[in-house]
Structure 1
Amino acid sequence: MGSIIRVALLGMFLLGLSPGKAFSQEIVKFTLEESIQYALENNVAAQNALLETYAAEASIGERTAQGLPQINGNFDFTKNLSIPVMFLPNEGPFADPDNPSDVLPVQFGVNYQSGITLTVEQMLFNGSYFVGLKAAKTYRELSEFDRKKTQNDVIVNVKKAYFSVLVNRERLELVEANLARIDTLLRETNALYREGFAEKIDVSRIKVQQNNILTELDRIRAAILVSKELLKIQMGLPKSYELVVTDNLDEMNQPDDIRALINQEGSQRVEIDQLKTNMDLVRLDLKNNHVKYLPQLNANFTYQRNGAGQSFSTTWDGENWFTGSFVGLSLSVPIFDGLSKSHKIQQNRIKLKQLENQRVLLENNIALERFQARTNLRNSLKALEVQEENRELAREVYDIARIKFNEGVGSNLEVVEADADLKEAETNYFGALYDALVAKVDLEKALGILK
């Protein structure tokens, strides 16, 4: 059932493929190791994970810049369309005998005003700044772990796709050999039929078997095309290239390597590193909410030049411009925020407890995953041994049936049935072989030793 599902999934990639296009494609050859290295550099997910580490590095610079002097310049120009009026008492030295009112309206201002201001502000103490700087560095570490996790996923996908190409290629060679065997049997049976030593039904049976093999041959060729396209997608290789895999299945199934893999304890998984780093970020957020209770101290300096004039031209005369400057400190002391920070601290502590629970669950799941992966690999290897033995037995049965038929002591039906059993045994063998290779990759991933 599993092999049928895999074939169905691969079949979805067949649309748009044309064998004739391969003649215009540039041929590139890759080993499994070269395929993985190429994918780590060109796969879209791997590239985005690398870019995320660059963004995290830039965030450190952004946070650092907040502690450096902040310098700003400002220029303003104003045309007073209607100069504001202020009122003075119409008495004493300001008294105007010609004005019957008890107040005097006075305009304070000129038609044009302009100014240039330079401000410098330097943070002297802000607890959140130092916590935020540490958080930015921790986020960079998290982005590195995220990148490693993405690389692991890419390696798994490339390996499985590469194995699919190898298995399909091996199947193709065997089916082509089966076709040659059936073609030979068909020619011999036709010759016997013409001589009167075989019946028409004998020829028809073999012809049906030949047609079945031709159909299977087309299906495997299509599967090879699809598996190659899938591998190119996982590698990030442009579709315009014709991919050729250069490794063989024997190199992938070394018994000593598999036994050593099953007995390995493994190393710490990157998922654990990700979770621990997330916990560090929450702790820093908790610390940040605590330090927000502390005052903030800033120093500032302002230098300005202001000018004015009754006409636009006199506004820019040097004698109408004057300098002003001042330096100061500003201290901000939090007094009461409606318990906002207190509630945030409670949320941080709850989040830490949740992450701690997730860590325990993750460690248990990893232990279970390793146990299952080891068990699956052992079972897959046993199934592979059984299917390999079945294939050899089916081949012996076919050879005996063929000899008996040639000697005239066996029937044509026996040969056809033996050939069908051999084909089924070979199909089961390659299905078991692919399952074993996939189980090996899954164990490598569970142990945290993908490479």
Structure 2
Amino acid sequence: IVTIAICAFFSNLSIGQLTLLDAKDYALKHHFDIVNADLEYNKAIHKKREYLSAGMPEAYISGGFNQFLNLPVQVIDASFFNPQSPEGQVIAFRAGTEFNSSASLNVNQLLFDGSYFVGLEASKLLIELQSIQKNRSREEVLFGVIEAYHIASVATENNLFADSILQLTLQVEEKQKGFLELGLMTQEEFDQIHYAVLRTMNNKENAELQLQNAMALLKYSMNCPLDSTFSLSTSIDELSLSALSPSLGTVNDNSTLKLLENQIKLSACDIKNNKAGFLPSLSAYFQQGYNAYRTTFDFFSNKPWYSQTSWGVQMTVPVFSSGKGKSTLKQAQIKFMQDENTLKTTENGLKLQEIQFKNELKTAQRQKDLQDQNIILTEKIYKNAIMKQKAGKISNTEVTQKLNQLIMTQAEYTATLINVFKSKIKLDKLYNKLYIK
């Protein structure tokens, strides 16, 4: 079924292209972390139903059979039958029947227990907790997918750039071969150009390997088959435009705060539960039983079964526990205060992260603007160097130097672009805004 779904998904992609939104949607449907989070949520729902049923009537039927291989012996004082019997004389006899059987219907009902009502409240909070955890799992998966998509997009762009530089350098080498054959340049000068070709070829091979690794990482983060093939259709320009858009939200939207707020509610329930331990509990029961006594194994014959019916209530009142209950209650109260302090500390920490992430994004965007100009400038310088070399104004060594400068600038540009994307999604994750169509 999963394989069919995967094939259907990719067949719906136009010409095998994958947008960032497609990647996020696919991961949300197929990633095992999200599937497991959904299962945990469903388990919490059934856990609540289980606890709810503890306060409902409970009925069960029980039955038993036993055979006395030796009937128990009982004794009574002989004077009970004969007052003239010597003192201390007893009469022994076997009482009962060899075969006995019983069956009963038992019904139990909890009437009052303070812990039960607290447990119902806690079970609702447990469902809420799993819902928050499910959203956190979505966040982690989406963060990994978006980051991997960004890296793969940058790697794709870098691979295209490396290929264009390689083709340009190969064209220069091809023309220089003619000059070498005509004796218009030395072998050493030609070797400089060939060195540049080898450098660009190595750069191209590295770019291809980086692209393969980036695509494999993207497929893994989506939980997509690693042998599937597709291309990325969300361009670098679109991703850059998205990175420049403001991140709307506050730290109050962060799922960590919601998780800690839920933990405080659970700690409050723990306090209530410990207080409920000082209250009495009350339950009731009803029993309808039947017993049969036989000298032979004939329970299915038309012989009597003797019935007995009873009902009752049972109350348990805590009286004394040597201070155990109070100590447990005090621990729960301390835990509640600790959770409140943790919430305040975490909230301040998230506000600090907000400041840091915003500044990181601003710094990365400024660096990207600078690198945008640098990459244009160094590419222009390299192409001008080639033109000057053709005119004999500069040597091949200088052309190689300009090429090295271009390759270094491209590497810096790539790193800066990734920093911009990562800074943006870190801020989006802080605001719980990773899934935006």
TM-score by length of 1: 0.90
- Corresponding residue number in structure 1 for 2:316: 332
Cα deviation, 1:234-270, whole Å, max 9, x if unaligned, reads: 1111223223222111111127x62533x76465211
The match for 1:406 is 390
Q: Is the 8 A contact 2:251 2:351 kept in 1?
A: no
- Does residue 310 in structure 1 map to residue 301 in structure 2? no
Pick aligned residue for 2:20 from 10, 32, 47: 32
Which residue matches 1:344? Answer: 328
Aligned to 1:356: 340
| Residue 117 in structure 1 maps to residue 104 in structure 2 | yes
Where structure 1 has 5 or more consecutive residues not aligned to the other structure, the ranges are: 1-26
Match of 1:224 among 179, 191, 211: 211
Residue correspondence of structure 1 range 13-412 to structure 2 within 5 A: 28-92=16-80, 94-95=81-82, 102-254=89-241, 258-261=244-247, 265=250, 267-313=252-298, 315-412=299-396
How far 1:435 sits from its partner (Å)?
Answer: 1.0
Structure 1 distance, partners of 2:361, 2:423, is: 5
- When residues 95 and 318 of structure 1 are mapped into structure 2, their CA distance, relative to the original with a 3 A threshold, is farther
Shift of 1:386: 1.4
Query: Once structures 1 and 2 are overlaid, which stretch shifts more, 335-344 or 159-168?
Result: 335-344
Q: Cα distance 1:101–1:348, how it changes in 2: closer, same or farther (>3 A)?
A: closer
1:101 offset after TM fit, Å?
6.1
Number of the residue aligned with 1:443: 427
Distance in 1 between the 2:252 and 2:294 partners? Answer: 78
What amino acid is aligned across from residue 118 of structure 1 in structure 2?
L
Query: Which residue of structure 1 aligns with residue 6 of structure 2?
Result: none
- The Cα shift of 1:324 comes to 0.9
| Post-superposition offset of 1:409 | 1.8
Deviation above 4 Å: which 4+ runs of structure 1? Answer: 96-101, 263-267
Question: Which letter does structure 2 place at the counterpart of 1:299?
Answer: A
Distance 1:106 1:172 in 2: 103
Q: 1:342 to 1:430 in 2, by over 3 A?
A: same
Asked whether the equivalents of residues 232 and 243 of structure 1 are also in contact (C-alpha less than 8 Å), the reply is no
d(CA) in 1 for partners of 2:253, 2:49: 31
Give RMSD over aligned pairs. Answer: 1.8
Quick one: distance in 1 between partners of 2:16 and 2:125?
Answer: 41
Question: Contact conserved, 1:30 with 1:245, CA < 8 A, in 2?
Answer: yes
Q: Structure 2 vs 1, CA of residues 241 and 96 (structure 1 numbering), >3 Å: closer, same or farther?
A: farther
Quick one: distance in 2 between partners of 1:104 and 1:399?
Answer: 125
Q: Aligned partners of 2:47 and 2:16: how far apart in 1?
A: 40
Q: How many residues align?
A: 421
Question: Alpha carbons of 1:337 and 1:127: their partners in 2 closer, same or farther (altered >3 Å)?
Answer: same
**Stretch deviating more after TM superposition (441-450 or 427-436):** 441-450
Q: Deviations over 1:262-283 (max 9, x none)?
A: x764652111010010111111
- Does the CA-based 8 Å contact 1:266-1:449 persist in structure 2? no
* 1:421 and 2:408 matched: no
State the distance in 2 between where 1:423 and 1:45 align.
40
The one-letter amino acid of 1:310's match is T
Q: Deviations over 1:31-83 (max 9, x none)?
A: 11111111112111111111110011111100111011111111100101111
Q: Note if contact 2:264-2:339 (Cα within 8 Å) is conserved in structure 1.
A: yes
TM-score between both structures, scaled by the size of structure 2: 0.92
Comparing 127-136 with 194-203, which one deviates more in the overlay? 194-203
Letter in 2 for 1:29: Q
